[in-house]
Structure formats: C-alpha cells, structure tokens
Amino acid sequence: MSANTQNLCIVCGGTSHRQLYEGLLRCRACGYVFADARLTDEELRALYDEDFFTGAEFSDYAEDELHLRKNFRARLRVLRRFLDPSRHKRLLEIGSAYGFFLEEARALFESVEGIDITGAGIAHARERFQLDVTLGDFLSHDYGARRFDVVCMWDTIEHLREPQRFVEKIASLTERGALLALTTGDIESLNARLRGRRWRLIHPPTHLHYFSRRTIARLLAAHGFDVVYNRPCGFYRSLDNVAYNVFVLRHNLRLPHALLRRAGVARLGFYLNLSDIMYVIARRR
C-alpha cells in the first residue's frame, strides 16, 4: 500500500518503532515486530513463484505429504472442539498450498475451498483431490455474497504484506460466531528470546510479521475476533525438511542434505514442539 500505511503500526496504529535486530523493527507502543522491508507486488509475487515449494523455502513440499497431513489432522482435532456442526458448515483456507489440509477437512464440513497464489499447489489440489481452489490474491478476489463459517490460515499470516487487510476482509466474509484459526511464530516465546536474531523463524522477506500472544490477540480484536484458544503448537517434520532448513537455507551447505536424501532416510519424520509456534482460534463477535 502507500508509504503512509507502512509507517503506522498495523496492530495499534502507533507511529514510533525501534530496531530489534538488524532488519527487524519493534513498535514502541505495543511491541509488535515486523521486517523492515517494503516489497512491491511484483517482488512479493516473485517470492512465491513455482520454486517456493520446491527449493526456495521448502526442499520439496509435496514430498512431505505424510508429515504435513499428520500436522493438519492434529490441527483439526483441536479445531473440532470449537465447531458446532449445525453452525460451522463452510470452510475457507487462505494459503491452501497443495490442498492437503482441505482434503483432510472436507469430511467435517458441507463445503471446503481454498485460495493460493502459487500455481503448482492449486493445480495439485484440483487434479489430485478435485478441490474447489482459486489461484489468486485473497484481497482482490471477489467472493460476491458468499460467506464462510470457518477461515483457516496455517503458517500464512507472517508472509502477508498487509495481514490487517486480510483480517478485515475475513471479518467482512463471516458472521457472528464464525471461527478464524491460524498458526504463526511467537516472537516472545522462550525459544525465540533465547535464539535472538538466529531464531529459526526469522527470515525476511518471506516472513514479514512476528506476532506474540498479545499482539496477535490485539490485531484480531481490532477487527472483531476474540481469541478463544492460544496454545503452543508442535509439528511433524521430515528429516529432509529440517536438514534443508539447517544446512541449505541457513548455512548454504548442500552436501549434508544431498547425502541424507541419497541415503534414503530423508522421508523419516519426527515430532517437535519448541513452544514457539502459536495455534490461535478466534471467534467473531
């Protein structure tokens, strides 16, 4: 958007911030942390071209299907506790990637649909699962008179240039009692504080926003959503994914990751909970 909106804190409207780490700023009024990056539409789009899921941010997202689906089933088990089947019928996932979550969720809802800006994921979701998914930008997509009862954004909000506009639009597409479920890193978690600038989730320019329990609740509340659940969220990962993050993305070392894949153990997985990812569910007022 305009330079003006980028100078205002998206959580509290504050105008003053200081540097937290190189490249990261922190609002002096509310503590919300954000990347000091001003991306154009074109730059942002380029980050999410075909190689986002196959090299840029993930080693190979689709190959991790087994672990990803386990994660999504775990997220659905929590979400179910807040669902009223007579009330929560239509689900929308923003950032639906390859469709694994929607495929897991479709049995619980009358309808599920997704939207994503990455063509490879959309094609996979359509062809393999026959899912109703849209290739495009949520903010500019016209939903007409359609409304949703549950909106999910898994590991997505930190990537958005203007998450406040997403939450605002989600509010406009939902009614009282609707649920918004999301996961994102917690920059005030113990692990994030111990790791400092080296915390694994700090990587602008794909990660632009670094929320905490307080700042995510405040942002959602400003748009009519009250947090009803916020707990640390663990996840299943493959060795491939972890080695790719540690060796290739962090240290630019390709050999250990290549050896792991060659040894045929890269698909092995494990469960990790560093208590630095929040699983947030909020209800529309």
Give residues in contact with Zn ion (CB under 5 A). 9, 11-12, 14, 27, 29-30, 32
Compute the least distance from the CB of residue 111 to Zn ion, in Å: 37
Cβ 37 vs Cβ 205: under 8 Å: yes
Q: Give whichever of 27 and 181 is closer to Zn ion, judged by the CB atom.
A: 27
Longest dimension (CA), the chain: 53
The SS3 of residue 21 is: strand
Alpha-helical runs (H) found in 20-114: 41-47, 65-80, 100-105
Compute the least distance from the CB of residue 222 to Zn ion, in Å: 11
Compute the least distance from the CB of residue 191 to Zn ion, in Å: 23
Q: Give whichever of 18 and 198 is closer to Zn ion, judged by the CB atom.
A: 18
Residue 118 has, within 13 A of its CA and on its CB side, a CA count of 22
Q: Give whichever of 14 and 23 is closer to Zn ion, judged by the CB atom.
A: 14
Q: Give whichever of 20 and 120 is closer to Zn ion, judged by the CB atom.
A: 20
In whole angstroms, what separates CA 102 from the centre of its chain? 15
Could you count the other beta carbons within 10 Å of the beta carbon of residue 98? 26
Query: Which DSSP symbol is given to 82?
Result: T
Interacting residues of 272 by C-beta distance below 8 A, sequence separation 6+: 234, 235, 236, 237
Is the preceding peptide bond at 163 cis, omega within 30 degrees of 0?
Answer: no
Q: Give whichever of 32 and 247 is closer to Zn ion, judged by the CB atom.
A: 32
Closest CA to 165 of 183, 140, 184, 147: 140
Compute the least distance from the CB of residue 7 to Zn ion, in Å: 12
Compute the least distance from the CB of residue 31 to Zn ion, in Å: 7
Q: Give whichever of 17 and 67 is closer to Zn ion, judged by the CB atom.
A: 17
Q: Give whichever of 11 and 178 is closer to Zn ion, judged by the CB atom.
A: 11
Compute the least distance from the CB of residue 214 to Zn ion, in Å: 10
Cβ 256 vs Cβ 164: under 8 Å: no
Compute the least distance from the CB of residue 8 to Zn ion, in Å: 8
Q: Give whichever of 28 and 141 is closer to Zn ion, judged by the CB atom.
A: 28
Compute the least distance from the CB of residue 11 to Zn ion, in Å: 5
In whole angstroms, what separates CA 215 from the centre of its chain? 16
Could you count the other beta carbons within 10 Å of the beta carbon of residue 176? 8
The SS3 of residue 219 is: helix
Cβ 281 vs Cβ 82: under 8 Å: yes
How far is it, in rounded angstroms, from Cα 170 to Cα 243? Answer: 36
